[in-house]
Amino acid sequence: MVLTESQLVDAIGHDRAEGKSIAFANGCFDLLHVGHLRYLQGAAGEADRLIVAVNDDASVAALKGAGRPILAADDRAELVAALRGVDYVVVFSDATVERLLLLLKPDVHCKGTDYTVDTVPERAVVASYGGRTAIVGDPKQHATRELLKRIAGS
């Protein structure tokens, strides 16, 4: 389900009271593909509940360039929320997820295989509150930009 930050804080508060562990993943998720699915399935396997933070439209444009995102943030969030294993989705506008990590303090911060634990930019923030960082998903062989090139070439 897609929640506001305050709704999300309440939801995971209830989950923690029930002894549930929390995993956190994030991304743009523009033109959902199998790499996204495998990343989120891997993240879901790291804890009892999975939060996915989806970049808002302005941050996707800043990260990915002109013509992006293809889909609006609300649509991308709804698609991600519909995936099995995803419990909560929140749209965020920050340049990084550090503020959300400090607000939510997930037990596990999950990143894709284009990182190593040592190269995750937020690893120090996660360690500061006692969380751990996990690398999940399949090898990074899928990219939205490649899909867009294939579509444009047809």
Residue-wise pLDDT for 11-64, tens only, equals 999 999 999 999 999 999 988 889 899 999 999 999 999 999 999 999 999 998
Tokens representing residue 40 in the block: 């989120």
Structural domain count of the chain: 1
Separation between Cα atoms, residue 114 and residue 77, nearest integer Å: 22
Determine if the peptide bond prior to 139 is cis (ω within 30°): no
Length of the chain equals 154
Contact 144, 30 (CB under 8 A): yes
β-partners of residue 2 are: 89
Domain that holds residue 26: 5-153
The one-letter amino acid code at 71 reads L
What single-letter amino acid sits at 142?
Answer: H
- E strands along 77-153, which residues? 88-92, 108-111, 132-135
Question: Mean pLDDT over residues 3-15, rounded?
Answer: 98
pLDDT higher than 90, residue 66: no
pLDDT at 148: 63
- Mean pLDDT over all residues of the chain? 93
Do residues 7 and 19 lie in contact, with contact meaning Cβ atoms separated by under 8 Å?
no
CA dihedral 63, 67, 70, 76 (to 10 degrees): 30
CATH assignment at residue 22: 3.40.50.620
Give, as one character, the DSSP assignment of residue 2: B
Residue 76 or residue 138, greater confidence:
76
Task: Name the pLDDT band for 147 (thresholds 50, 70, 90).
Answer: low
Which of the four pLDDT bands, split at 50, 70 and 90, describes residue 67?
A: confident
On whether the pTM is more than 0.75, the answer is yes
Residue 142 pLDDT exceeds 90: no
